Amino acid sequence: MIRVAFNAIPLRSTLTGIGNYIVHLAAALAATGDVDLYAFYGGALRHETPSQRSGASRASATQVARRIVKHAVPFRRTLRHAQLEWLFRRGARRAGIDVYHEPNYVPFRVDAPVAITIHDLSWIRYPQTHPRERVRWLERGVPRAIARADAIIVDAEFTKRELQQAFGVAPSRVNVIPLGVAAHFHPRTPAQTRVSLSDFDLAHGRYILTLGTMEPRKNVAHALAAYAALPGSLRERYPLVVAGARGWRAGLLTRRLQAMSARGEVRFLGHVPDAALPDLYAGAALFVFPSLYEGFGLPPLEAMACGVPVLVSNRASLPEVVGDAAILIDPDRPEETRDAIERVLDDDALRERLSVLGRRRADRFNWEACATQTLALYRALVTNAR
């Protein structure tokens, strides 16, 4: 078996894209029986499959140090990384790790083959949608990470081209391994969604859904503008449901959504538990995803797997991922999105066609295939290291 260590620090907080990648890929790798997994949450390297429950439940001395350093030192991120790197290197040596997989761009320095996953270059293309500290960290760290990595993984051909353009990375060094859609995302009947949707005071097939972390890049304001321009009769029949965890610079948007929700203009759910997400997707009449930039974009595929028609931004990797199974929208033109929403909601045949195409498209992406390709890459790294 190949001993693989994951940096699982992203699992200490609410799951977003990278956290979901770690959890689902690790579970699929463990299911192969060919990988012995180790997880690093910021303390000792643990001999276990990375999981959100494990990461979130353990407070370590490192976390305490992080809070102290955060308030005392201007270069806190660099010092924190150095401290975590020392802990990780010590654990990797003791465990005899064969491969270290860094799922979050910048790896620790270790005496083992290193695979890194670069999910997108949004911090270059849209730096205004990230905290300055994170942009500076990635500007310093990613070039070194690229130079140091034994293998580079990206989620889409789009990101591979981005790496070539931004950093001159040879195409042969970049491995495109698409993400997967979990099996629990599938169509559901009104009876199957009733319990979950009743908790949100929603009716199956009677709402428009937009979902994503509340941060500038997700472009939630676009969905709000498009929806507000719809005829009153449609808005009365189909409330707009906005769901997603609080992200960077979410304060103003969150307050706006809370005020709109109080006036009955939208339904703002905030963070939705993972267990309720499949029902929330499956019960929607339409899913709208106007993100400015994605390195892959799982939410549209998850909605498609649930049989829901999808409107998705025509930017970055999203057209590559959804193919011809969704309607592409310009994230800078909410009036066009308004027209597309109205067209889909008023056309039963179009909704059914998009539902069928979407399910077929989503069937092409699964975590088992992602794990198989990733495992092949690990094996190549181990062979080359001998």
What are the residue boundaries of the structural domains of the chain, listed by start? 2-180+367-385, 190-362
Residue pLDDT, tens place only, 272-301: 988 999 999 999 999 999 999 999 999 999
* 299-337 exposure pattern, b = at least 16 Cβ within 10 A, e = fewer: bbbbbbbbbbbbbbbebbbbbebbeebbbbbebeebeeb
Percentage, residues of the chain above pLDDT 90? 77
How far is the C-alpha of 175 from the C-alpha of 300, rounded, in Å?
Answer: 23
Residue pLDDT, tens place only, 292-340: 999 999 999 999 999 999 999 999 999 999 999 999 999 999 999 999 9
What string of H, E and C letters represents the secondary structure of 72-99?
A: HCCCHHHHHHHHHHHHHHHHHHHHCCCE
Confidence band for 341, pLDDT divided at 50, 70 and 90:
very high
Contact 120, 292 (CB under 8 A): no
pTM listed for this prediction? 0.89
Tell me what pLDDT residue 130 has.
86
How far is the C-alpha of 236 from the C-alpha of 116, rounded, in Å?
Answer: 47
What string of H, E and C letters represents the secondary structure of 182-218?
A: CCCCCCCCHHHHHHHHHHCCCCCCCCEEEECCECHHH
Topology of the domain comprising 190-362: Rossmann fold (3.40.50)
Residue pLDDT, tens place only, 102-152: 999 999 999 999 999 999 999 999 998 888 888 999 999 999 999 999 999
Does the domain at residues 2-180+367-385 carry the CATH identifier 3.40.630.40?
A: no
CB atoms within 10 A of CB 73: 12
The residues near 325 (Cβ < 8 Å, ≥ 6 apart) are 304, 310, 354, 357, 358, 360, 361, 362
Same fold, 2-180+367-385 and 190-362: yes
Tell me what pLDDT residue 93 has.
96
pLDDT at position 29 over 60: yes
Higher per-residue confidence, 344 vs 57? 344
Tell me what pLDDT residue 65 has.
38
- What the block records as the tokens of 381 is 């790294």
Q: Which of 40, 42, 44 is nearest to 26 (CA)?
A: 40
Contact 318, 371 (CB under 8 A): no
pLDDT at position 72 over 80: no
165 residue type, one letter: Q
Residue pLDDT, tens place only, 148-185: 999 999 999 999 999 999 999 999 999 999 999 999 99
Residue pLDDT, tens place only, 225-236: 999 999 999 999
* 9-25 exposure pattern, b = at least 16 Cβ within 10 A, e = fewer: bbbbebbebbbbbbbbb
